[in-house]
Amino acid sequence: MNNDIEQVLFSQQQVEQRLDELASELTSKYQDQFPVIVSVMTGAAVFTVDMIKRLNFKLNLDYVDVSSYADGTQSGKVRLIKDLSTDIKDRPVIIMEDIIDTGHTLKFLVELLKGRGAKSIDICALLDKPARREAKIEADYVGFKVPNEFIVGYGLDYSGIYRNLPYVGILKRAVYEK
């Protein structure tokens, strides 16, 4: 598995240190606010679990799953596969996502949750790939910016694989250019 990685971008130690920093920013902001954390499956699972253990305030944890159509005509169309089980009306929401790429997924989710009456919405993303942005959306909290390459590890996958790598790296092109 490690042989498929071209370059390690952020080691486990670097990721953990950055999570400490993000968590302390969130902990200052969210004291007594009782937010709902909305984790976007499956990519954000590892990030979410490691983050919430560092958050020192009362919260609820819930998750959604989404998929994007890629039929050539409707690029950027996103569909909800698994909905929340928490009522977020008048609740502050923190969306936790693995990476913002084109931005379509997060734009769709922000509009959905606004429509349900969320009191406020913050986006917390482990990674940001600004080179590929199509939708007008930015994260409020970002772990690291990444280059325009295919990234895996720490929850991010290629074809369902590599999510369990404890670091963030660039996947070798040879793995997907076959």
102 scored as a contact of ligand IMP (CB under 6 A): yes
* 53 contacts: CB under 8 Å, gap ≥ 6: none
105 scored as a contact of ligand IMP (CB under 6 A): yes
151 scored as a contact of ligand IMP (CB under 6 A): yes
103 scored as a contact of ligand IMP (CB under 6 A): yes
Q: Are 5 and 175 in contact (CB under 8 A)?
A: no
Strands 5-10 and 168-171: antiparallel
x-marked contacts with ligand IMP along 26-65 as a string, rule CB under 6 A: -----------------x----------------------
Binding residues among 107-126 for ligand IMP as defined by CB under 6 A: none
Q: Are 169 and 8 in contact (CB under 8 A)?
A: yes
155 scored as a contact of ligand IMP (CB under 6 A): no
Known catalytic residues are: 101
Question: Site residues (CB under 5 A) for Mg ion?
Answer: 43
Q: Which residue is nearest to Mg ion (CB)?
A: 43
Distances (CA, A) of 126 to 43, 73, 86, 91: 10, 29, 23, 23
